[in-house]
Amino acid sequence: MSALSSKRPTVVGRIVTAVLTIALCLFALFPFYWMVASAFDKYVGTTGALWPSQVTLAHFAYVMTEGKFGLYLRNSLLVALVVVVASSFIALLASVAVARFRFAGRRAILLLVLVIQMVPMEALVIPLFLQAKQLDLLGKLTGLMVVYTALALPFGVWMLRGFVAAVPIDLEEAAYLDGATWWKMFFHVLFPLVVPGLVATSVFSFITAWNEFVFAMTMLGPQIDKYTVSIGLRAFFGLHANDWGAIMAGSTIITIPVMIFFIAVQKRLAGGLTSGAVKG
């Protein structure tokens, strides 16, 4: 029985399905597997085998000490944390406005939120770099925090409005009946009920800040002690030979937190991108 047919599959059909499923999993997993396997391989890139010949933690040790990855992780976490708090809060306020109020310009705002997400980074990075230079924000994490908060906002608003709209309006009205002001209602009724949405939005903001590359590279420039993890790896690329063991160890460290968060909110993420069917 499958979802698209009510007929029982034949034996041949079952075998084909099994083979395809295994092939799909191998294809999906191979880069991740190869990254982790290379990161632990003492003789990385010399054996031609598909598994580590001798397992070692040396690449990780090198990356964390010589590679300054402890510092980069701290920088990235700091930036991501500020971005998560700032963008979630601002996005929540805006999403309440578009989900709970009917006002002139609401549709234009929704359109703006949609359209602004599509502007390519390369168009933003030139003017923002020039602006940051004038404001003396180059080489500082503050500049990145502000930019990432803005980058995470549109998707946050888009996603949260669905959660806000899903809160029954009766609950709000009950709070008013009890004499609550709008702000009391917001913090005591609406806020607790949209926490799941805030979690999903926070995860998305975190991933945005953690993965971002173009702005970090441009705005931090030569300020190595301010590097975030996504640009911290570039130091391992030598002029003649690349230290692939270290690059893969660093890549593993960057990827693991993203992967955990991603799988935790996988359903909401796919839904958030195509939502619109949710009434808002």
Partner 1 sequence: MTESTLKNVGAGQSPAPTGSAPRPAEATSGSPRRGAAQARRRRTSKLIRPWALLAPGLIVIGALLGWPIIKVVLLSFQNYGLRQIVSGTWNFNGGANYADVLGSAQLWQVVLPNTVVFAILAVTATVVLGTLVALLLAKLGPILRGIVSSVIMIAWAMPAVTGTYVWSWIFDADAGIANQLLMSMGWMDQPFNWFTNRFTFYAIVLLNVVHHGFPFVAITVLAAFLGVPREHIEAAEMDGAGPWRVFWLIVIPQLRQVFAIVIILSTIWDFKVFTQVYLMPGGDGANRDVLNLGVWSYTESFGQNKFGYGSTIAVLLTVVLLIVTVIYARTILSQEDGS
**Cα–Cα nearest to 200, from 146, 257, 157, 167:** 157
Provide the minimum distance between the beta carbon of 129 and partner 1 in the complex, in angstroms, as a whole number: 8
The answer to whether the CB of 227 falls within 8 A of the CB of 216 is yes
C-alpha span between 245 and 37 (Å, rounded): 9
- Applying the rule CB under 8 A, the residues between 67 and 96 that interact with partner 1 are 90-91, 93-94, 96
Grouping H, G, I as helix, E, B as strand and the rest as coil, residue 265 is coil
Tokens for 158, please give them. Answer: 């888009």
DSSP 8-state symbol, 66: T
Binding to partner 1 by residue 135, rule CB under 8 A? no
Tokens for 223, please give them. Answer: 């300020």
> Considering only residues 76, 149, 202, 205, which one is a binding residue for partner 1 as defined by CB under 8 A?
149
Q: Which stretch binds partner 1 (CB under 8 A): 53-61, 71-79, 131-139, 195-203?
A: 131-139
Residues in CB range of 232: below 8 A, 6 or more apart: 67, 68, 69, 72, 250
Provide the minimum distance between the beta carbon of 61 and partner 1 in the complex, in angstroms, as a whole number: 19
Q: Which stretch binds partner 1 (CB under 8 A): 58-66, 77-85, 98-106, 197-205?
A: 98-106
Binding to partner 1 by residue 255, rule CB under 8 A? yes
- Applying the rule CB under 8 A, the residues between 161 and 180 that interact with partner 1 are 170-180
Q: How far is CA 151 from CA 114, 187, 214, 261, in A?
A: 12, 26, 12, 19
Binding to partner 1 by residue 8, rule CB under 8 A? no
Mark residues 111-130: x for contact with partner 1 by CB under 8 A, - for none: xx-xxx-xxxxxxxxxxxxx
- Applying the rule CB under 8 A, the residues between 193 and 222 that interact with partner 1 are 207, 210-211, 213-214, 218
Provide the minimum distance between the beta carbon of 125 and partner 1 in the complex, in angstroms, as a whole number: 7
